Amino acid sequence: MDTITTEDTLGIAFSRRLPLAFSHGTGSRVWDEHGKVYLDFTSGWGVNSMGHAHPVMVQALTNQASKLIQGPNAAFTYSPVRASLLQTMRTVLPGHLSRIYFCNSGAEANDAVLKLARKMTGRSEVISTLGSFHGRSLATLSVSRGPDNPARFLPPQQHTRFVPHGDIAALEQALSSDTAALIVEPVQGEGGVRIPPMDWLAKAERLCRQHGALLILDEVQTGFCRTGRFFAHQHSPEPIRADIITMAKGIAGGFPFAAFAVSESVYEGLQPDDHGGTYNGNPLGCAVADVVIRYLRDKEVATRVASLGERLITRLHALHAQHPGIIQAIRGQGLLTAMELHDQDQVRNLAFACADAGLLVVPTRNGVIRLLPDLLVSEADLDAGLDILTAVLAAHANAAHDIAPLASAG
């Protein structure tokens, strides 16, 4: 079987892919079908928080799969594995977020809370931020990127407003008695690792309280130690009391899983049949998420991420100083980092060249390349990946022509 031909012939692709097929991985490394090894600085778009094939995860998967994968009658019955995960979640979540629901993806979690926020407030309008990303369902699409994004698929959305990320004056002007909620990423991920002013979230929370609107924090990409704190909103100098937090990606180390947590006051406004799902809170996903969260908590992974993040950002700033004609800006928090290029057309070519040299990075819209190594990456592997990036940028700077993409890229 030819993997690439089969997928191109029988599958549906909504993006232009690297002509690479990966067979296995361990730690921060993956191997393609031909045996070539790569350093993975994508973490599967930020989900492989503990790297590939971590033994703690493998054991949890194997043990639970041999017992019960999906419970009878799903949410109509109870699960000891789910109960254990609920208790574990309470040890890492802010104390006021006392109720938790499990689902399957970040988009699903965000879709659910948008629906619930409108229902419980009796208001229709939701405010989001320009450049944000909250998912690709109908509801989450309407609050992602900006008004031009949902307009590709939907009639003009009368009940969504966008404000610049971090602009407190614009938010104050947009909030009204019709606003059900503000949904915001503490750090924009897909938008290019955009970090707002440190006091922005606290000010946004106060404005939401004044207008009776709910504050929804989308911690799908930023949660579970990715930024050097267990949750990114904890970088705020003032404590943040969000009404709802959504979580996914790193929560189960790469296994499809997600959750949202709400305050007791939000919970009191929910009713039976407001939400549900066949696979939500399934025993297999709960078992994996439980061991991942315990590991991140007990090993104090957030602390090592903060330290490694400083090492990473220092080297990226050095690259910026060496190549100011190529790199426009460096941004980052923990192991969520971005390198913005002057020429957005070079992003894909640079990503291809890195892959050709044995480093996988994340090409992102708006001229950005993201680096998202797993949270357990060693200093040696981090440096090795950055050495590859350094060599690729040097070759680009010295070349009189564009970086040649992989020969088979098309």
Confidence band (pLDDT; 50, 70, 90) for 157? low
- Is 65 a residue whose pLDDT tops 60? yes
- Is 404 a residue whose pLDDT tops 60? no
- Is 83 a residue whose pLDDT tops 80? yes
Confidence band (pLDDT; 50, 70, 90) for 405? very low
Q: How far apart are CA 111 and CA 100, in angstroms?
A: 15
Least confident of 57-71, 86-100, 136-150, 254-268: 136-150
Predicted local distance difference test score (pLDDT) of residue 73: 82
Any idea of the CA torsion for 213, 227, 260, 249, to the nearest 10 degrees?
A: 140
Residue 163's Cα: distance from chain center in Å? Answer: 21
Average pLDDT over residues 387-408: 73
- Is 400 a residue whose pLDDT tops 70? no
Specify the 3-state DSSP secondary structure of 88: helix
Average pLDDT over residues 152-173: 87
**Do residues 207 and 175 lie in contact, with contact meaning Cβ atoms separated by under 8 Å?**
yes
What mean pLDDT is reported for the chain?
A: 94
Average pLDDT over residues 179-198: 96
- Is 389 a residue whose pLDDT tops 50? yes
**Do residues 70 and 279 lie in contact, with contact meaning Cβ atoms separated by under 8 Å?**
yes
The contacts of residue 378 (CB under 8 Å, 6+ apart) are 27, 28
Predicted local distance difference test score (pLDDT) of residue 403: 46
Burial class of residue 320 (count of CB atoms within 10 Å of its CB; 0-12, 13-18, 19+):
middle
- Domain 3-53+300-398, CATH class in plain words: alpha beta
For 189-263, where are the alpha helices, taking DSSP H only? 200-211
Q: How far apart are CA 181 and CA 127, in angstroms?
A: 6
Angle between helices 301-322 and 379-398 (to 10 degrees): 20
The contacts of residue 159 (CB under 8 Å, 6+ apart) are 124, 125, 126
- Is 265 a residue whose pLDDT tops 90? yes
**Do residues 340 and 367 lie in contact, with contact meaning Cβ atoms separated by under 8 Å?**
yes
Confidence band (pLDDT; 50, 70, 90) for 375? very high
Average pLDDT over residues 197-213: 97
Order across the sheet with 22-26: list the strands: 22-26, 29-32, 37-40, 359-360
pTM attached to this predicted model: 0.94
Confidence band (pLDDT; 50, 70, 90) for 141? confident
Residue 139's identity, in one-letter code, is: A
The residue with greater pLDDT, 309 or 410, is: 309
Specify the 3-state DSSP secondary structure of 349: helix
Sequence ranges of the domains in the chain: 3-53+300-398, 56-298
The residue with greater pLDDT, 336 or 403, is: 336
In the chain, % of residues over pLDDT 70:
95
Predicted local distance difference test score (pLDDT) of residue 336: 98
Strand 125-129 and strand 99-103: pairing? Answer: unpaired
Q: How far apart are CA 191 and CA 221, in angstroms?
A: 12
Confidence band (pLDDT; 50, 70, 90) for 155? low
Average pLDDT over residues 140-145: 89
Confidence band (pLDDT; 50, 70, 90) for 16? confident
Confidence band (pLDDT; 50, 70, 90) for 84? very high
Q: Could you say which of 3.40.50.9100, 1.10.3720.10, 2.40.110.10, 3.40.640.10 is the CATH number of the domain covering 56-298?
A: 3.40.640.10
Residue that is written with structure tokens 């981090």 in the block: 382
In the chain, % of residues over pLDDT 90:
86
Backbone CA torsion sign across 26, 109, 227, 301: negative
CA angle 127–364–45, rounded 5-degree value: 85
